[in-house]
């Protein structure tokens, strides 16, 4: 059964397209043009009560019944549970996946997202404080990730949904004004992921 991916070409949308490709799940993209306010439409609100993309509809949900899911982290965990892929079964191995997925959701997303906002402002006075604050925190988070990857291939050792979540935002490093060469372990991890055929398909999927 084909999963509906309601999304737009954003880091949070890319997390899900990459995961779907890596898990080998059939899906179709239903663009939600956030530049035109389509995320506020009543139909989308039924899927995503917070009016944020992405959301999915899985016609083959639990018990074979359709289910809709919003929030990218929840979607990733659901897809990992559904397929048994990229989400380890032993609790000890699952804990770091939870940790690094929540790290992305709580930090490496909201703070770079603020960089996206302030960098687009035309008034230099308006831009200055926000960029100084949020770019500094964004670079700190890249440093946290770099240290984590110093002695491991992926953030939770085995490739997991946490890597897909983080990759969605690391993909926008040029917009963060971050040179990956400043964070060599992140650069190695990023290049290894982007070289994976399924990840490449997920990154190139037309989401808008």
Q: Is residue 205 part of a domain?
A: no
Distance CA 71, CA 54 (A): 7
**Whether 178 and 104 share a structural domain:** yes
* Same-domain pairing of 135 and 68: no
**CATH number of the domain residue 23 falls in:** 3.40.30.10
The Cα 68–Cα 58 span in angstroms is 6
Q: Which of 32, 66, 87 is the last residue of a domain?
A: 87
The CATH number that applies at residue 151 is 1.20.1050.10
Nearest of 44, 49, 50, 59 to residue 7 by alpha carbon = 44
Same domain, 113 and 167: yes
Provide the Cα torsion 136, 142, 144, 145; round to 10°: 170
Task: Specify the number of domains making up the chain.
Answer: 2
Domain of 99 in residue numbering reads as 91-199
Please check whether residues 48 and 61 belong to one and the same domain.
yes
Handedness of CA 97, 98, 99, 103 (dihedral sign): positive
Q: What is the per-residue pLDDT across 71-123, written as a single tens digit (0 to 9) for each?
A: 999 999 999 999 999 999 999 999 999 999 999 999 998 888 888 888 877 77
Does residue 40 share a domain with residue 114?
A: no
Structure tokens at 143: 């440093």
* Reported pTM: 0.89
- The Cα 36–Cα 33 span in angstroms is 6
Q: Over the stretch 143-181, which tens digit does the pLDDT of each residue have?
A: 999 999 999 999 999 999 999 999 999 999 999 899 999
Residues in the chain, overall count: 208
Assess whether 192 and 98 both reside in one domain: yes
Label the pairing between strands 3-7 and 27-31: parallel
Same domain, 19 and 76: yes
């Amino acid at each position: 059964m084909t999963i509906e991916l309601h999304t737009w070409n954003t880091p949070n949308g890319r997390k899900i397209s990459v995961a779907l490709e890596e898990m080998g799940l059939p899906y179709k993209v239903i663009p939600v043009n956030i530049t035109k306010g389509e995320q506020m439409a009543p139909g989308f609100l039924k899927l995503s009560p917070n009016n944020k993309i992405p959301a999915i509809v899985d016609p083959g949900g639990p018990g074979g019944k359709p289910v809709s899911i919003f929030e990218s982290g929840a979607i990733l965990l659901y897809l990992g549970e559904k397929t048994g892929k990229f989400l380890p079964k032993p609790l000890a191995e699952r804990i770091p996946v939870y940790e690094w997925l929540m790290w992305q959701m709580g930090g490496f997303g909201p703070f770079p997202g603020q960089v996206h906002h302030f960098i687009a402002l035309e008034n230099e006075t308006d831009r200055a404080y926000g960029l100084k604050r949020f770019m500094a925190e964004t670079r700190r988070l890249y440093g946290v990730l770099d240290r984590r990857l110093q002695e491991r291939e992926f953030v939770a050792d085995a490739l997991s949904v946490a890597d897909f979540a983080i990759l969605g935002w690391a993909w926008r490093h040029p917009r963060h004004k971050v040179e990956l060469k400043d964070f060599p372990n992140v650069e190695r991890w990023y290049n290894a992921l982007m070289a994976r055929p399924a990840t490449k398909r997920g990154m190139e999927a037309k989401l808008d």
